[in-house]
Amino acid sequence: MTDTGTPAQPFHVAIIMDGNGRWAKARGLPRVAGHKRGVESVRKIIKAAPDLGVTHLTLYGFSTENWRRPEQEVSALMGLLRLYLRNEAQKMHRDNVRVSFIGQAEQMSQDIQDLMRDVTALTANNTGLNLTIALSYGGRWELTEATRAIARKVASGECQPDDIDEAMINASLMTHALPDPDLLIRTSGEQRVSNFLLWQCAYAEFLFVDTLWPDFDGEVLADCIARFGLRDRRFGAVSSLV
């Protein structure tokens, strides 16, 4: 909370979308039914976020560890991803959403890579919500890749070891063009970050909510933002409330 008493506003919200499988199981449905319902929640949050003052939204769509899931489930998830990118690209463009992706795109099938490239190009000049979708993404992988990139610069003489600082590391990450998240939300009651934005969330506020992702909507997001406004963000300094 600021010194004026004005509630803090999270401009960049990152969400770990969890609970699709449990939502489906509770209803006696196959897991894919939960994933399909989860896509509806994605639509709702993209629509609601700008009205709540959010300028950047990063969604954890598929982690590097998710490849270990049963082949049938992974195939179903990839099918839903294809449908989403095909069906939603024009709508997001009309809504002025700028879409980008982080993660190991090369691990996706060629047609999905093409869809990712197309929606990125289509929305590149939009000026509304900045939507980042993390696909085949892992924070440790991203930091490893950044370390390799910097090591190559040192080896080529482009920089010296003593030149390495936080700014150089940040510039080597896939998120270098994004502000750090202000708020990280994880749904379904789980309380871990699951290898998501490990560097970027150093000073993010964390909220772990019991709501399963298929039930997450604009009202729940608004409540999370209101709860964020009650936090005293100190960034290592003395509390302004003392």
pLDDT by 10s per residue, the chain, length 242: 334 445 589 999 999 999 999 999 999 999 999 999 999 999 999 999 999 999 999 999 999 999 999 999 999 999 999 999 999 999 999 999 999 999 999 999 999 999 999 999 999 999 999 999 999 999 999 999 999 999 999 999 999 999 999 999 999 999 999 999 999 999 999 999 999 999 999 999 999 999 999 999 999 999 999 999 998 877 666 555 55
Catalytic residue among 3, 18, 170, 210: 18
18 is catalytic: yes
Domains of the chain, residue spans: 12-137+180-228
* 117 labelled ligand-binding: no
182 is catalytic: no
* 205 labelled ligand-binding: yes
Distance of alpha carbon 78 from alpha carbon 82, whole angstroms: 6
Class of 12-137+180-228 in CATH? alpha beta
pTM of structure: 0.93
* 234 labelled ligand-binding: no
* 22 labelled ligand-binding: yes
Catalytic residue among 66, 126, 170, 195: 66
Helices (H), the chain: 20-26, 31-51, 71-94, 110-123, 139-155, 166-171, 218-228
